[in-house]
Amino acid sequence: MNRISEHPVLGTFAKGRSVVFRLDGRAMEGCEGEPIAAALRAAGVLVHRQTARRNEPRGVFCAIGRCTDCVMVVDGRPNVRTCVEPLREGMQIQTQYGLGTLRHEGAGS
């Protein structure tokens, strides 16, 4: 997925420096201080978690920190709203399965 570098209305963007973080152990790059969800989207990652009951994929929904669909485990803490949480260098981000990081099969964990 490409980032918009110049927008017809908003112009250009001053982004933070490029930093390395990890998603499920995989090294990735993003801009320091941007929402984690933005860095993930720019890298083509749209699934942030699997729900507890129905084991269904979720990602960004409201994008304004309200709906909590986009939550992931960040530096060991679950339920972090990635659309409002700023990316920091070295962050360990994990796909959230239910309330944690262990994959579960089928409906219910």
Which residues form the interface with other proteins (CB under 8 A)? 51-54, 56, 58, 61-62, 65-69, 71, 77-79, 81, 98-100
Give the tokens for residue 101.
Answer: 């990081």
> Is 16 or 78 the residue whose CB approaches other proteins more closely?
78
> Is 33 or 100 the residue whose CB approaches other proteins more closely?
100
Q: Give the Cα separation of 84 and 62 in Å (integer).
A: 11
Q: How far is the CB of 98 from other proteins (least distance, A)?
A: 8
Q: Give the Cα separation of 92 and 97 in Å (integer).
A: 15
> Is 34 or 51 the residue whose CB approaches other proteins more closely?
51
Alpha-carbon dihedral of residues 54, 57, 48, 93, nearest 10 degrees? 50
Q: How far is the CB of 61 from other proteins (least distance, A)?
A: 7
Q: How far is the CB of 12 from other proteins (least distance, A)?
A: 30
- Position of tokens 């570098």? 5
Question: Which residues, other chains included, contact 26 with Cβ-Cβ below 8 Å and sequence gap of 6+?
Answer: none
> Is 28 or 59 the residue whose CB approaches other proteins more closely?
59
